Amino acid sequence: MPAVYLGHGAPTLLDDEVWPRELADWATRLPRPKAILVVSAHWESAPVTVGATTPVPLVYDFYGFPRRYYDITYPAPGAPDLAEKVKRLLGDVTPVHDDPERGLDHGAYMPLLFMYPAADVPVLQVSMPSEDPQALIDMGKRLAPLRDEGVLIMGSGFMTHSFEAIRDVMRGLPEPKALVEFDRWAAETLAKRDLDALIDYRRRAPAASYAHRTVDHFVPLFISVGAALDADAHSTTAIEGFWMANSKRSVEFS
């Protein structure tokens, strides 16, 4: 299986005319996964924590939206066997905790609603234990053997995640060029496989502090990069463009 990094949008992604179709089309081009392992920007907890392995309610980790966004369901099967494999792969270097009541957050279920709408692929979410690029790359490398077993490893974030840009556009201001520059840098750096530059993105990427006031939505990328390192995988942009002023670039490593 490939490893992927994708933009997961917000609950209002349900109402977009283009992006849901792009996610659905991407899924048809991917091999059918036996299970999906998600590391989302919306669950940071150290040490690594394994979420629910049986169906439990979703985590509606957002506020102030209309009621219908809280009525979304995604009853994917649990993945207890995958959870045990994750523990074996990670447990020799770090403790691994369990949180059996922790359901999928919108970083996991929003893209899956469109990619696998039947909710018939087992899904496991684990926490992101650090925002350090090297630590996440190392975690991805340890999880990489799962790809050979048909597991889709998914880092879920947003290539840019600027609320300032969203507010500016909603006020009628032009879309900021700074986010275009960051997005272009990320795409070029991934294409060149310049891992040193990618790890040093805070200093090297243009407008990094504007594109990511907090870096939680960028760094899941390093899980996917790490999961593909040993295979010397190349990156392919699966989805590009902008949504609410931010880059929705999603990348496949295969």
Inter-axis angle of helices 106-115 and 19-29, nearest 10 = 70
Predicted structure pTM score: 0.96
Structure confidence at residue 231 as a pLDDT band (50, 70, 90): low
- Mean pLDDT (whole number) for 131-155: 98
Maximum distance among all alpha carbons in the chain? 52
Q: How far apart are CA 228 and CA 214, in angstroms?
A: 25
Report pLDDT digits (tens) over 172-193.
766 789 999 999 999 999 999 9
Which residue ranges make up each domain of the chain?
3-161+215-253
Report pLDDT digits (tens) over 27-82.
999 999 999 999 999 999 999 999 999 999 999 999 999 999 999 999 999 999 99
Q: Is the pLDDT of residue 168 over 90?
A: no
Element (H, E) at 237: strand 235-239
Question: Which residue is associated with the tokens 């507010």?
Answer: 167
Q: How far apart are CA 29 and CA 145, in angstroms?
A: 22
The CATH code for residues 3-161+215-253 is 3.40.830.10
Token digits of residue 45: 């907890």
